[in-house]
Chains A and B, each alone.
Chain A
Amino acid sequence: MGSPNRVILGTRKGLLILEQRKGGWRVTNHSHVGAPVPYAIRDRRHDVLWASLDHGHWGSKLKRSDDHGKTWEEVPAPAYPKAAKMKSWMTEKPVPATLRYIWVIEPGPPDRPDRIYLGTEPGGLFQSNDGGKSFRLVKSLWNHPSRIPSWAGGGRDFPGIHSILVDPRDSKRILIGISCAGVFETLDEGKTWEVRNQGLKADFLPNPDVEVGHDPHLVDACKSDPDMLWQQNHCGIFRSKDGAKSWTRVSKKKGTAHFGFAIAVDEKDGDTAWVVPAISDEVRISVGGALVVCRTKDGGKSWKTFRSGLPQKESYDVVFRHGLDKRNGTLAFGTTTGNFYVSEDRGKNWSTVGTNFPPIYSVRFT
């Protein structure tokens, strides 16, 4: 089982493992020293750590560790097929697709023990059926007719897949979050895909109700009630109570909880979720210079703002999309300015673990 007492951070200067011991949280491992690590996670099925690396010169790489981070083995990074083309708003014509970034690593469901998914830029979903020895592009999604005309970059130059949610009730049902395109669903394990953006608003486009082109920064589901879905979107916080068939915006532009990147849904209560807000698209710093966490317990009708233990002045922190995690009653988040905080009472009170970490990209309890 996963532990709320150990957390793995992907940072701009390497991977860090922190463990809660007597006297507080301590760094017990620093791997890939100096290299940006966009995402790192433990595959609980096999007790294997996975990390994506983003070398500025040498490209995106994929690493695994079978000994809790003591040693790492490089496995071949996913490669786009020769004929694959990609397009962004700044390329007039499609150009050859090359791996730009591994956004997320998602271990497969228990009934697919050798399955691993990767979400990448430019808009690739990759699947391994051999425990990560090799990955192949899921062509059904890549060939979706909306991709070339309607997918765009969101925060990076090309579209990126950052959310992969396998339904714990049915491993053939998978939801994908793409910036910028939106949410896609397969019910047949990736053979066919349907757009699931009904109700989302793309305020940055001439037509906010466009079918494809939305920017879900992160999509998360309630583990015990997977049809209860949430997303921190570029244009607010949205939730779905019907498995992504429809979405409703539950934040207000002038509310504290509205713009941001990360979101965490309670494992047992699909009406409860946490966000770490920033001011707005145009001003990406803490709201009013105060770092806060907002929580709703009523499906977004109301939001409570928690400040205890967090800096309430001169905070410039932003929490990236994978920078917040929750396990049981414990929450943790890391910020772009290298601050890392933990709450053991469901977000009400926070402890500072450190303020001198590198910019933090991902936080995952192991």
Chain B
Amino acid sequence: MPKVQFTRHLKTHFPTLSEVEVEGGTVGQVVIALDQRYPGLKSYLTDDQGSLRRHVNIFVNEELIRDRTRLTDVLRPRDRLFVMQALSGG
């Protein structure tokens, strides 16, 4: 199963968040699985229409995902996902 790591910023809002393995053949499926484990997490990563938020990045291994709109990037069982925030704001 893909393994997911998170920026520590998200722990402010989800204190129990930690590295986790979840089922999912695509990035979108992983996000849904994460939301089941941490209710509400999906709304922090994607907007009302399901697209990745503008200042959120998801890497698969070391590559940024390509489909930020529908999250269809395909995953292999041993992939590692990194959920990061873009550096912005002041």
Residues of A within 8 A of B (CB): 55-59, 61, 74, 76-77, 79-80, 82, 96-99
A58 touching B49, Cβ below 8 Å = no
User: Contacting B48 at CB < 8 Å: which of A57, A58, A61, A97?
Assistant: A97
A98 touching B56, Cβ below 8 Å = no
Residue of A56, A57, A76, A99 most packed against chain B (CB within 10 A): A57
Q: How far is the CB of A62 from chain B (nearest CB, A)?
A: 11
What's the Cα separation between A83 and B82 when bound, in Å? 31
Whether, in the assembled complex, B85 has its beta carbon less than 8 Å from a beta carbon of chain A, the answer is: yes
Whether, in the assembled complex, B9 has its beta carbon less than 8 Å from a beta carbon of chain A, the answer is: yes
Secondary structure dominating the interface of B: loop
User: Contacting B44 at CB < 8 Å: which of A59, A79, A80, A96?
Assistant: A59
B86 touching A57, Cβ below 8 Å = yes
Across the interface, which residues of B come within 8 angstroms of A79, CB to CB? Answer: 48
In this complex, what residue of B is CB-closest to A75? B40
Across the interface, which residues of A come within 8 angstroms of B56, CB to CB? Answer: 57-58
Whether, in the assembled complex, B16 has its beta carbon less than 8 Å from a beta carbon of chain A, the answer is: no
User: Contacting A74 at CB < 8 Å: which of B40, B47, B51, B88?
Assistant: B40
Q: How far is the CB of B41 from chain A (nearest CB, A)?
A: 10
Whether, in the assembled complex, B72 has its beta carbon less than 8 Å from a beta carbon of chain A, the answer is: no
What's the Cα separation between A74 and B44 when bound, in Å? 12
A57 touching B43, Cβ below 8 Å = no
B55 touching A56, Cβ below 8 Å = yes
Q: How far is the CB of A188 from chain B (nearest CB, A)?
A: 28
Beyond the given pairs A58-B44, A76-B43, 12 more chain A to chain B contacts, judged by CB atoms under 8 angstroms and listed by A's residue number, are A57-B9, A57-B44, A57-B55, A58-B10, A58-B13, A58-B56, A59-B44, A59-B53, A74-B13, A76-B40, A79-B48, A99-B48
What's the Cα separation between A188 and B20 when bound, in Å? 51
Across the interface, which residues of A come within 8 angstroms of B45, CB to CB? Answer: 58
A-B contact count (CB 8 A): 43
- 5 A–B contacts from the bound complex (CB under 8 Å): A56-B55, A57-B89, A58-B53, A98-B47, A98-B51
B1-22, CB < 8 A from A: 9-10, 13
Secondary structure dominating the interface of A: loop
Residue of B44, B45, B47, B86 most packed against chain A (CB within 10 A): B47
What's the Cα separation between A77 and B44 when bound, in Å? 11
Residues of B within 8 A of A (CB): 9-10, 13, 40, 43-45, 47-49, 51, 53, 55-56, 85-86, 88-89
Across the interface, which residues of B come within 8 angstroms of A98, CB to CB? Answer: 47-49, 51
What's the Cα separation between A164 and B89 when bound, in Å? 29
User: Contacting B47 at CB < 8 Å: which of A55, A59, A61?
Assistant: A59
Closest 4 CB pairs of A and B: A56-B89, A58-B44, A98-B47, A79-B48
Q: How far is the CB of B11 from chain A (nearest CB, A)?
A: 12
Across the interface, which residues of A come within 8 angstroms of B43, CB to CB? Answer: 59, 61, 76-77
In this complex, what residue of B is CB-closest to A78? B48
Across the interface, which residues of B come within 8 angstroms of A97, CB to CB? Answer: 48-49
Across the interface, which residues of B come within 8 angstroms of A57, CB to CB? Answer: 9, 44, 53, 55-56, 85-86, 88-89
In this complex, what residue of B is CB-closest to A82? B49
Across the interface, which residues of B come within 8 angstroms of A80, CB to CB? Answer: 48-49
What's the Cα separation between A82 and B46 when bound, in Å? 13
Across the interface, which residues of A come within 8 angstroms of B88, CB to CB? Answer: 56-57
Given A56-B88, A56-B89, A99 contacting B13 (CB threshold 8 A): no
What's the Cα separation between A58 and B48 when bound, in Å? 12
What's the Cα separation between A80 and B43 when bound, in Å? 13
Q: How far is the CB of B71 from chain A (nearest CB, A)?
A: 15
Residue of B48, B49, B51 most packed against chain A (CB within 10 A): B48
In this complex, what residue of B is CB-closest to A33? B12
What's the Cα separation between A96 and B50 when bound, in Å? 11
Q: How far is the CB of A243 from chain B (nearest CB, A)?
A: 34
Across the interface, which residues of B come within 8 angstroms of A82, CB to CB? Answer: 49
What's the Cα separation between A58 and B44 when bound, in Å? 4
What's the Cα separation between A311 and B48 when bound, in Å? 44
